[in-house]
Structure 1
Amino acid sequence: MLQGKTIAFLVAPEGIEQVELTEPWKAVEQAGGTPRLISTQPGKAQAFNHLDKADTFDIDATADQVSAGEFDGLVLPGGVANPDNLRMDENAVRFARSFFDAGKPVAAICHAPWTLIEAGVVGDRALTSWPSLRTDLTNAGASWTDQEVMVCTNGPNTLITSRKPDDLKAFCQALVENFGG
């Protein structure tokens, strides 16, 4: 369970795949944890259902206002535009990397590992992702596999990855199990 744990969800202001934000968010809440939405800009984050605009979500803080020390884990939702925008923001990349430096668990789904590539933390790790990231991940030193969820404990922290929205049940289960430790 995640009782008493605070989990950061790092997103760009636009381009999050809604279900990849809302399902893990609900899983954290149902396990007794407190999710907080972190972004690169204050205000609201615009989510999408694939290419169609969906709901907006209030941002709790920006990546330059918080540190990994305030959280017990990090979730990186996917969508194509979301991690593409995050990897271009120095504060977002630094925030993501700081969870690895602190030995805290990280979960990333779909295209989200792009942010981790930019943070320089995927080398010698076993990951899965949306299939189009395979070459990017292997070029960054990761071992890529095509399965619904991958839990990698090689390194100072646990890294959980999944491929797509269809994998959310397994992703959320692995997240709750590994973030509760």
Structure 2
Amino acid sequence: MTSRELFDRAIEVVLEHEGDIYTDNPVDHGGATRFGIAQRWNPDLDVKNLTRAQAIEIYWERYWHGHRYEFLPEVIAIKVFDLAVNLGHQAAVTCLQRALHACGLRVALDGRLGAETCGAARRADPAALMAALRSEAAGEYRLRVARSADQVVFQGGWLNRAYA
């Protein structure tokens, strides 16, 4: 499977979780968003008027391409990318690395999706790694709420995403 084919599968999961409604919640640290694309992190975009097709290309160019997701097993790549859209790439990869530790595979906890992390993910038992990854993501979301209590309004949705 090519990187673009894997991306095409992953983006459907992301868009299902993010939806297509423009929101501007004052407690959302990303500011105004549509399709999960935040104005704060993309100040050059007119997020409010994004089309689905534009959002998909933005995700490909800015959030997928060059991040090495295609070197992970398919289901893990999709999950890590979905988490990266919401948590940020480094935090999502750190969740993966912690999950690998939980599966007995020691890798550096550096938030970098390098050869060591990708190789360990390919060696891991897929079901065990996915269970551990979901748990680590849920823990990261809970930690974010603990650090910033106003984020509790997002906790239910975040945990649904973590365990999806």
**Which of the pair has the greater relative contact order for Cα pairs under 8 Å at 6+ separation?**
1
TM-score normalised according to structure 2 size: 0.29
User: Whose strand fraction is larger, Structure 1's or Structure 2's?
Assistant: 1
Higher helix proportion: 2
Rg larger for: 2
